Amino acid sequence: MFVKTKFFLLGFIFVGILIGCSTASKGILSQAERKQVDRLITQRLYHIESDWALPLMTQGLNAVANAGLFFPGSNASRVDLIGNPNYVKVKGDSIAVYLPYFGERQMGGGYANSDSAIQFEGVPDSYEATWNEKKQRYDIRITMKQKTETFEMNLVLFPNLSCGINVNSSHRFSIRYNGDVKPLTNE
């Protein structure tokens, strides 16, 4: 009985220490990091390159995975994009987007000369960037239209210059990308 109580008490103390350490401060955002992120967003001069695509799991993607058609190191829910061209470039009022798409179309799309990637170049319908003080990040919402398809991109930009991109489409299942942000040189 004494041994069980001793192990219970040690386990309780161990869990208490873990909880106490996990609630410690996550670190304060330095002024330099905040200024760098602010400058990228206010100047609208940045480039995002994704390392991973995270498509919505569907029965079709499972069939592709079961056939072994994904790149080495990738699977149906996480596709490695390193070495594959992809970008989101914001330069002033214009944006250029090329993101390879892994998933299913819900409607539309032709057979011949059909672009499977998410592509856009020009001035988007809307662009809104807001600083989330509580989460210490920028939330950016971009709406754009390419031919008959409408895209809504939600970007989450962190002070360490990592970025998450969620893309919702009027014709395709949603997909998410993870990557890094870099300053875009003014050409």
Q: What is the mean pLDDT of residues 6-16?
A: 54
Q: Is 4 a member of any domain? A: no
Q: Percent of the chain having pLDDT more than 70?
A: 79
The CATH number for 58's domain is: 2.40.128.410
Q: What angle do CA 154, 159, 161 make, to 5 degrees?
A: 70
Those residues with Cβ within 8 angstroms of residue 53's Cβ, 6 or more apart along the chain or in another chain: 78, 79, 81, 99, 100, 102, 175, 176, 177
Structural domain span for residue 31: 26-183
Is 45 within the bounds of a domain?
Answer: yes
The predicted-structure confidence for 96-152, as pLDDT tens digits, reads as follows 999 999 888 877 655 544 568 999 999 999 999 999 999 999 999 999 998 889 999
The verdict on residue 7 lying in a domain is no
Q: What is the pTM of this model?
A: 0.78
In a domain, 58, yes or no: yes
* In-domain check, residue 21: no
Average pLDDT across the chain, whole number: 83
- Token reading at 40: 């990228």
Q: What tens digit of pLDDT does each residue of 78-99 get?
A: 889 988 899 999 999 999 999 9
Does residue 82 form part of some domain? yes
Total domains in the chain come to 1
Residue 156 covered by a domain:
yes
